[in-house]
Structure 1
Amino acid sequence: MAIETAIFAGGCFWCMVQPFDSLDGIEKVRSGYTGGHVENPTYEQVLTHTTGHTEAVKIWFDSEKISYRELVEIYWEQTDPTDAMGQFQDRGDNYRPVIFVNSPEQREIAEESRAALAASNRFDEPIVTKIEDAKPFYEAEEYHQDFYKKDPEREALEMAQRLQFKADKWN
């Protein structure tokens, strides 16, 4: 078993857990905050847009069962890569789309994947998702973890626009 991590920001972290959590080779997925300058931020602090953090998920995966490249491809299908200032109904820099890379290999994979997506002409607008070096990841409060399991009705409401976009652009 070769456990690695991936960190993806794609809007509301509630909506980013389930698409990865259910895959073979995923050890765990945690919601949290990263990319900012405040240590151990709270949800309320991140909402003020003064911490520099964005909501993200950290994924622990067995690279012998699922590759980082596969995770990046799944990531694209969960987001609108043409929207730099939020995702769907969630607006602001704390919902910006970012692939946070942990190594030069992850950066190369993410950049190649982004270039291929841009060249595909799937989207009319440019791909604006950032690729940044990973910064400290702070786990969100427990009530945010595994939200799709805790409140499936609310999760369905949060996912509605995202799922429609996915159906329009990816299916």
Structure 2
Amino acid sequence: MEKSKHELATFAGGCFWCMVKPFDEQPGIVSIVSGYTGGTTENPTYEQVCSETTGHYEAVQITYNPEIFPYENLLQLYWQQIDPTDPGGQFYDRGQSYQTAIFYHNEEQRQLAEESKRKLAESGIFTKPIATQILPAKTFYPAETYHQDYYKKNPERYNAYQIGSGRSAFIRNHWGEKK
């Protein structure tokens, strides 16, 4: 049996802790790495990124099998994890490093991302404009080990953060109970 081709998808959605679990639960997802992208500093640390001096976003890079879970499905799930109308960050996390962005790896991803953004804007779900940027992928630097799979390593703190930040309520109010 021939090995399926895997592709990369990169999404910034505020705190990267909150962006792993929804994708990790899907079929066809090979791996998810929390990290930093979009900036100018090589091999930035969490502290450097949080200082807002590197230009990086907290992001997740997903290796996936498009035959099992197509990029369009990743985009749909991505939109359901964020407030795409907030240009200043996500929920309680403020600043450039917590802004939302889709980082495309090829022209097809760019076109699909632009189309999904247009459809979301036209859907009437949100009354404010969609602020999420669609940008070319840049070098992705994995975050420190303690950030990887945070929801598995620290489930109580992860759940408290999801609720306390307002993310859980926002998702429930806009997309329903389980997305």
TM-score, structure 1 as length reference: 0.99
Matched, 1:138 2:141: yes
| Aligned residue in 1 for 2:168 | 163
Measure how far apart 1:104 and its partner are. 0.4
The C-alpha deviation readout for 1:28-81, integer Å capped at 9, x for no partner, is 000000000000000010011000001000000011100000000000000000
TM-score, structure 2 as length reference: 0.94
Structure 1 distance, partners of 2:106, 2:162, is: 31
| Aligned residue in 2 for 1:81 | 84
Q: How many residues in Structure 1 have an aligned counterpart in Structure 2?
A: 171
The C-alpha deviation readout for 1:128-155, integer Å capped at 9, x for no partner, is 1000000000000000000000000110
Matched, 1:5 2:8: yes
Any stretches of 5+ residues in structure 2 without a counterpart? none
**Aligned partner of residue 78 in structure 1, secondary structure:** coil
| Aligned residue in 2 for 1:42 | 45
Percent identity at matched positions?
A: 54
Any stretches of 5+ residues in structure 1 without a counterpart? none
The runs of 4+ residues in structure 1 deviating greater than 2 Å are none
**Aligned partner of residue 44 in structure 1, secondary structure:** helix
- Return the letter of the residue paired with 2:169: Q
Structure 2 distance, partners of 1:72, 1:78, is: 10
Alignment of 1:120-131 (within 5 A): 120-131=123-134
Structure 1 distance, partners of 2:25, 2:121, is: 28
Q: What's the Cα RMSD here? A: 0.6
